[in-house]
Amino acid sequence: MQSLGVAAIGFHPRPASAGHKGAPDYELTRELVERIDVPVIVSGGLKSAEAARRAHRESGADAVMIARGSLGNPWVFEELTGRRAEPPSREEIVAEWLWVTDRAEEHMGGERAQRYLRKFHPWYVERLEAPKEVADELQRSADLARARELIAGLAAPAGVA
């Protein structure tokens, strides 16, 4: 493969029919690693540092690639490299979410950013275990100021003022 100019292979060991669900087949990855002479980078279902370590160990891949698993969870890279031992606080998550919101508005303008951010909200909502009503309003809202207000209100755990 190197003679063909292939430097590495990124491999997502789940069938397309499974989408982003189901367990990755690390044994299949290991077979690929043993059959080719270029580095293999395994991806798929890596939402935590432990999942990435397990994928690396079980697959025999040369590296892991965390893609969707980092959305709403950029701290996974610090956890994986040992720079962070504890999960982020609610305040850190909210601050990051507001930062993403600000950057989207800065780059796209308010109206377009609000629509665009609808795909980001669920990742943060899940991490914070936000009430369904808040999640629903974030998905329906056309007002970025209201979205910021809802997000900021999630910094304290439910029932704590």
- Report yes or no on 161 lying in a domain: no
Ramachandran sector of residue 142 (left: φ over 0; alpha: ψ -120 to 50; beta: rest)? alpha
- Please check whether residues 113 and 66 belong to one and the same domain: no
- Please check whether residues 20 and 74 belong to one and the same domain: yes
> Residue 158 — very low, low, confident or very high, per pLDDT cuts 50/70/90?
low
> Residue 2 — very low, low, confident or very high, per pLDDT cuts 50/70/90?
low
Q: What's the rounded Cα separation, in Å, for the pair 105 and 64?
A: 32
Residue 59 pLDDT > 80: yes
Highest mean pLDDT among 2-16, 19-33, 87-101, 129-143: 87-101
- Please check whether residues 10 and 39 belong to one and the same domain: yes
Global confidence as pTM: 0.78
The side-by-side arrangement of strands in the sheet containing 63-65 is 9-11, 40-43, 63-65
- Please check whether residues 6 and 77 belong to one and the same domain: yes
User: What is the number of structural domains in the chain?
Assistant: 2
Helix (H, G, I), strand (E, B), or coil: what is residue 4?
helix
Residue 77 confidence (pLDDT): 94
- Please check whether residues 50 and 113 belong to one and the same domain: no
Q: Structural domain of residue 14, as residue ranges?
A: 2-81
Ramachandran sector of residue 101 (left: φ over 0; alpha: ψ -120 to 50; beta: rest)? alpha
Name which of 1-10, 40-49, 96-105, 138-147 the model is least confident about.
1-10
**Structure token pair of residue 17:** 């029919």
End-to-end CA distance of the chain: 60
The beta-strand segments (E) located in the chain are 9-11, 40-43, 63-65
* Average pLDDT over every residue of 68-91: 92
- Report yes or no on 134 lying in a domain: yes
pLDDT in tens, 8-53: 999 988 877 766 677 888 999 999 999 999 999 999 888 899 999 9
How many Å is the Cα radius of gyration of the chain? 19
